[in-house]
Amino acid sequence: RSLHILSHVYIYVREESMIRGPQFLTTLRSHTVWEHTPVKLYCTVEGYPTPLVKWYKDGVSIDRSSIKYNVQDNVGIHTLEIAKCETDDTAQYTAVAGNIHGQVSTQASVIVKSKSVCPPLLSSAVPMLLEIKYTKINITFLETFGSVFGIEGDTVTLAATMTATPNLANLQPEAQWFRDDHRLSDSKWVKIESARGKTKLTLPHLNKDDEGVYSLRVVTKGGDAVHSAFVSCADGPPPVPGAPGAPMDIKIHDANRDYVIVSWKPPNTTTEGPIIGYFVDRCETGTENWVQCNDSPIKICKFPVPGLFEGHSYYFRVRAINSHGISKPSRMSDPIAALDPTEFERLHAIKLGGKLDVVIYHDDVEDGKKVPGTPSKLRASETDRTYVVLSWKPAPYQGQAPVWYYIEKVSGAWQRVNTQVPVRSPRYAVFDLAEGKQYLFRVLAANMYGTSETSEPTEPIQTQELRGVPSAPGQVVATRETDTSLLIQWAEPKEPNNLIGYYIDVCVKGSKDWASANHKPHKNNKFVVQGLTTGETYAFRVQAINELGLSDESQESSPLSVKAALTTPSAPYDIALLACDGESMVLNWKHPIHSGGSPVVEYYIDKHRHGEHTWREINIPPIKERLFKVEHLSAGAVYEFMVYGGSLAGLGAPSAPSKAFHCDAWTMPEPGTVPKTSLKQVSILKMKCA
């Protein structure tokens, strides 16, 4: 459709609507202000249809008609202004943008400080340097969450309660949730609720994409308090017995006006047959009509989907196939719009009659030239086994007639690639190439008046060659972690071949019933297997994964029983002076609270004399009892002592220094002490302390 604005000037308007969910380009920023001063929060958002923005204060909707708040919306820029802040305006403010394709939110805190806390100025003529000190806030978890083992479709809730000391109304800690160190926020699959002293994360429909280590970080001025636990998600019942589990982690790459590239990760097949291939499905947003994109199964975890309608938005999902049947579909992807990624770069505004701004494409402006110029800087921005994504720089903008492009390839003789589909975007994916073969490409521009010269050809571009799945991982070693978990480590495969991650299997000693320890590929070569039975003995094996599938299994680890790992003991405490004769002191202390899983069998003592800078060892051979006579002391001197406990795991932390003990002979009889301590009397004291 064309719009006649001025003589010989036409603006081409696309009929397709540009459908996009809302997205924040600029998020809210937190502020700390003095009371009775103004503050303005602002954000920018884009989307089509134009998103509506609602504001909330601590989860309560803000009334736009309130005289306290000035809410403005102006061409994607949204502001909330408080002209005169009061201390009760200290809160968390949220902007929620939504249209028919979804909603997103952004949050920020406003802290209003009272001026009454500032000391009065002694004189306006004398500058005063104010030392500003912050209050360190300590967090104590009262209730926490543990590891969770669920199956697909379950609802899982992780909750924690905490207390802050001191508990200041205008300095409340912020609760942040993470999965595998990636910050989480409210979405269709994750719900987060936080109130004073409480926070809760809910996974309303558990999926293998949700598996991982979940961490709650409570952020304060004095640092972070962190609690973590593992959430496991096993496959739900398959549609038919023996069918594989669903693929996961569906990603969209290189979205363009008529195609996208979809990638995913393969499921574990510990108890199922090997994967034969995959089906990719698409669904246009606003409908429930899923359409299969490939007629025959594809064997790699990446697939280009052509034939999309420009300006339309789509969801994608993937199903796995083995000899028994087809899996349940994966969790669907986020919606993606089929749009020209360079479209907004080619827009600019012109003035008609010096007053009216009209947004048009650069190539719609008449400059007297007819035939388009030659494109340049042609290159491959992505190369795969059977396709190459090309991009180039358009020639200076030409004429009012639309410009399109033709791509040619050569592997023997030049031939045109896109004979049926004109390309308007300076970016194009060439599919159906031979694996491991070299090609040259060139591009030319065309319009209704003719075609340009061909561009300079690219350097030889070679498609990737199928190298197979990774080789099997190396030696697997299990070590003790806790009384319900073991730490598994292994050597990386010698031939990674674009490694994606690993699957770990576990089996009780003497059994051949292997089970999956993780249901989403793990990226590192160490993994803590949770939920084991205390006292049971297990073996482990590992498989590596790439986009072609799973490697052979590693050799099994040596069996290992589950019990808490040995740790060094905690520090002894409460060092007491039992006797002093002016030349020696008899010391006693209390046993470490935590032994570390092995008995504390020996102790070491250090001493420090006031006036000296170093601590010195007293006993080289270890002490077996919690009683020791320190000899060769100087009368009248002052000493401090520290004690270490030792076990099979090693030497523990030192105790806190004792009180300052004066080496003065005790002359007054006191219970439990004697003026001159004999070996026999020390033995009696040992019996009393035992």
Indicate if 376 and 446 belong to the same structural domain.
yes
Q: What's residue 64's pLDDT? A: 82
Closest by CA position to 339, among listed 395, 260, 393: 260
Pair 566, 600: CB distance under 8 Å: no
Does residue 402 sit in the same domain as residue 431? yes
Strands 102-113 and 31-34: parallel
pLDDT reported for residue 398: 54
What's the rounded mean pLDDT across residues 104-108? 84
Whether 490 and 437 map to the same domain: the answer is: no
Query: What integer pLDDT is reported at residue 13 of this predicted model?
Result: 34
Answer with the residue of higher pLDDT: 131 or 640.
640
Residue 594's alpha-carbon distances to 227, 567, 597, 598, in angstroms, are 21, 9, 8, 9
Q: Are residues 591 and 684 in the same domain?
A: yes
* Cα 105 to Cα 113: distance, rounded to the nearest angstrom: 26
Same domain, 430 and 322: no
Please say whether the beta carbons of 74 and 53 come within 8 A: no
Q: Are residues 631 and 673 in the same domain?
A: yes
- Percent of the chain at pLDDT above 90? 46
Q: Which domain holds residue 266?
A: 248-342
Can you tell me the distance from the alpha carbon of 527 to that of 80, in angstroms, rounded to the nearest whole number? 47
Same domain, residue pair 511 and 542: yes
Q: Is there a single domain that holds both residue 675 and residue 578?
A: yes
Query: Is the omega angle on the peptide bond into residue 244 within 30 degrees of 0, that is, cis?
Result: no
Confirm whether 5 is domain-assigned.
Answer: no
Mean predicted lDDT score pLDDT of the chain: 83
% of residues, the chain, pLDDT over 70:
85
599 is written with which tokens?
């008995």
- The pLDDT assigned to 343 comes to 60
Residue 421 has pLDDT above 90, yes or no: no
- Kindly report the CA angle at 331 between 327 and 333, in degrees rounded to 5? 130
Tell me what pLDDT residue 192 has.
Answer: 94
pLDDT at 170: 67
Long-range contacts of 234-238 (CB under 8 A, 24+ apart): 234/149, 234/150, 234/151, 234/152, 234/516, 234/519, 235/151, 235/152, 235/208, 235/267, 235/519, 236/151, 236/152, 236/153, 236/328, 238/272, 238/325, 238/327, 238/328
Instruction: Please check whether residues 553 and 595 belong to one and the same domain.
Output: no
The residue among 241, 230, 246 whose CA lies nearest residue 280 is 246
Pick from 439, 482, 301, 452: nearest CA to 375? 452
Instruction: Specify whether 147 is located in the same domain as 89.
Output: no
Question: Does residue 431 form part of some domain?
Answer: yes
At 365, which amino acid appears? V
Q: Tokens representing 293? A: 């994109």
Predicted pLDDT of residue 7? 36
Residue 679 host element (H or E): helix 679-689
pLDDT digits over 385-400, tens only? 888 989 999 887 656 6
Q: Are residues 288 and 335 in the same domain?
A: yes
- Distance of CA 385 to CAs 258, 314, 368, 382, Å? 21, 25, 44, 10
Domain end (from 304, 324, 342): 342
364 SS3 class:
helix
Half-sphere exposure of 359 (CA within 13 A, CB side): 7
The reported pLDDT for the residue numbered 347 is: 52
Q: Which pLDDT belongs to residue 131?
A: 40
Determine, yes or no, domain membership for 243.
no
Please report, in angstroms and rounded to a whole number, the separation of the first and last CA atoms in the chain: 98
DSSP letter for each residue of 457-496: PPPPEE------SPPPP--EEEEEEETTEEEEEEPPPS--
Q: What would the mean pLDDT of 580-590 be, rounded to a whole number?
A: 94
**pLDDT computed for residue 89 by the predictor:** 87
CA 1 from chain centre, in angstroms, equals 46
- Domain end call among 514, 534, 562: 562
Token couple for 611: 């006036």
Position 535, amino acid: G
Please count the structural domains in the chain: 6
- Residue 17, pLDDT score: 40
Asked whether residue 128 is domain-assigned, the answer is no
Name the pLDDT band for 450 (thresholds 50, 70, 90). Answer: confident
Kind and range of the H or E run holding 682:
helix 679-689
Q: Which residues contact 551 (CB under 8 A, 6 or more apart)?
A: 469, 470, 471, 472, 473, 493, 543, 544, 545
Kindly state the tokens that stand for 85.
Answer: 């802040």
Residue 245 sits at the vertex; the CA angle it makes with 241 and 246, to the nearest 5 degrees, is 130
| Per-residue pLDDT reduced to its tens digit, 453-463 | 999 999 999 99
Q: What is the pLDDT of residues 537-576, one digit of tens each?
A: 999 999 999 988 899 999 999 999 998 777 889 999 999 9
Domain annotation covers residue 470: no
Structure confidence at residue 662 as a pLDDT band (50, 70, 90) = very high
* CATH code of the domain covering residue 80: 2.60.40.10
Of 562, 581, 603, at which residue does a domain stop?
A: 562
| CB within 8 Å of 427: residues ≥ 6 apart | 256, 340, 341, 342, 381, 389, 390, 391, 392
Look at residue 363 and give its three-state secondary structure.
helix
Predicted local distance difference test score (pLDDT) of residue 5: 34
Please, which pLDDT band fits residue 132 given cuts at 50, 70 and 90?
A: very low
Q: How far apart are CA 4 and CA 8, in angstroms?
A: 8
With respect to residue 7, please indicate whether it lies within any of the assigned structural domains: no
- pLDDT, tens only, 272-313: 889 999 999 999 988 899 999 999 999 889 998 988 888 888
Question: pLDDT digit string (tens) for 133-190?
Answer: 455 677 888 999 999 999 999 999 999 998 887 776 667 788 999 999 899 999 889 9
Residue 602 and residue 674 in one domain: yes
Helix (H, G, I), strand (E, B) or coil at 157: strand
Report CA-CA distances (Å) from 406 to 316, 416, 445, 451.
29, 7, 6, 9
DSSP structure string for 16-72? S---EEEEEEE----EEEETTS-EEEEEEEEEESPPEEEEEETTEEPPTT-SSEEEE
The per-residue pLDDT for range 596-655, each reduced to its tens digit, is 878 999 999 999 999 888 899 998 789 999 999 999 999 999 999 999 999 988 899 999
Classify 539 as helix, strand or coil.
strand
Tell whether 610 is covered by a domain. yes
Are the C-beta atoms of residues 421 and 429 closer than 8 Å to each other? no
Question: Is residue 125, in this structure, part of any structural domain at all?
Answer: no
627: three-class secondary structure by DSSP:
strand
Residue 345, amino acid: E
How do strand 549-550 and strand 537-546 relate by DSSP bridges?
A: antiparallel
> pTM for the full model?
0.62
For 54-86, what is each residue's pLDDT tens digit? 888 887 888 887 878 888 888 778 899 998 888
What's the pLDDT tens digit per position in 331-388? 999 998 887 766 655 555 545 455 445 445 555 555 555 788 899 999 998 888 888 9
Statement: residue 205 has pLDDT above 60: yes
Highest mean pLDDT among 445-454, 499-508, 671-680: 499-508
Displacement of CA 311 from its chain's centroid (Å): 31
Least confident of 14-23, 121-130, 160-169, 288-297: 121-130
| Residue 304 neighbours by CB distance under 10 Å | 19
The 3-class secondary structure across 650-662, one letter per residue, is EECCCCCCCCCEE
Supply the pLDDT for residue 342. Answer: 64
